[in-house]
Structure 1
């Protein structure tokens, strides 16, 4: 596997002089939830930007924990200081998460495919004989567990998860630096981690090309 040059992280990301196109092809139905659900995980029909940046970080092998004090947080702080750049640092809450690579790639949706959504019933992953019951979870009657042991042996709380099926790729206009764009193109050709959006089974294929190519 060829090495990926990450020296662009030491540059000021505000000096964007290159443009390109990011194409994201879904390889499976996607469930891109952005809020804390009750019993229904509702998907977005267009990939949320934070999930796109998470996908890009996976391609670089840079998917760290970003909470305050974690390695990713410290790395981001050091890189921002080194580049003398104004880069927002993540807070302690997940909704404050600011991806490391976001300042280097400005994404603007240029074309979206037609989409359809559907619901799928799933089971929360916990054993019925444990006390791990979420506040929003429904409690099954013990007689139902007794009558249907095959269904209720693993996970006893049904939830609805919505999926989106896209008829084609999402295409984004990208403003970036020359070195960051070259690094992204190389990373997507030979990703260091799985490329997905939403749940870990929401596999996608992604590629980047410069406008000048």
Structure 2
């Protein structure tokens, strides 16, 4: 397994470098600034939080939330010994950014011959809830083949229970708990989501820590693809260091 260089997190940020980053979308993108309930409104431009996710994705920092919490705690302990201290990043979702104070977005614009346009589509959203027996049970497309007959019998029993007006929610939750190893870990539900499409690229002017510039410069020649917003918004990155 390749070792991941996290040494940058052990020092104070130094935003002395200036770069121009070109981001070319290869598919419609959907960048949201918050997690709403029934509708995901897309941003026209990527913000710092979204770019942070893009950088960490390209660098291969695919850490779990628990690991990110541990790393963040260690950063706090290290920064206590310095004058700058540590300002926790704004957390808008389950993603905890690690590189947010190692760059600042000065400006961003779209370079395109056509006008960008928005449209709505249905997005398959994945959920995981221990108490959502009925919802989880009905929102999974794939189950272990050994569960097919058990599920069929259970559904038949539920139909009979509904006819006699017996409550079945607790039974469904119990069935889910007892068979979770044979049911998809996540259930899915269609959600309205806004997408943005344009032919061209984003041009971002960024103040950045020289060590982060070096990390990206070494990585992008071999791996310059990532995604903006959700995992469907594939993009290519091109870094141009300004003089």
Do Structure 1 and Structure 2 share a fold, with TM-score over 0.5? Answer: yes
Distance 1:160 1:98, change over 3 A: closer
Query: 1:207 corresponds to which residue?
Result: 238
Q: Which has the larger radius of gyration?
A: 2
Separation (CA, whole Å) in 2 of partners of 1:12 and 1:101? 11
Query: 1:165 corresponds to which residue?
Result: 197
Cα offset for 1:164?
0.3
Query: 1:176 corresponds to which residue?
Result: 208
Could you tell me the TM-score, scaled by structure 1's length?
0.70
Cα deviation per residue 1:88-110 (whole Å; 9 max; x = unaligned)?
2258x645966211211111224
Distance 1:101 1:124, change over 3 A: closer
Cα deviation per residue 1:50-100 (whole Å; 9 max; x = unaligned)?
011011011222243457983332343245347654222258x64596621
Q: 1:131 aligns with which of 115, 131, 134?
A: 134
Cα offset for 1:132?
2.6
Distance 1:18 1:30, change over 3 A: same
Q: Number of paired residues?
A: 187
Greater per-residue helix proportion: 2
The question of whether the paired residues in 2 share the 8 Å contact of 1:10 and 1:83 is answered with no
Query: 1:147 corresponds to which residue?
Result: none
Separation (CA, whole Å) in 2 of partners of 1:164 and 1:66? 28
The question of whether the paired residues in 2 share the 8 Å contact of 1:116 and 1:165 is answered with yes
Could you tell me the TM-score, scaled by structure 2's length?
0.62
How well do the aligned residues superpose, as a CA RMSD in angstroms?
A: 3.6
Q: Which stretches in structure 2 are left out of the alignment for 5+ residues?
A: 137-186
Q: Which stretches in structure 1 are left out of the alignment for 5+ residues?
A: 134-154
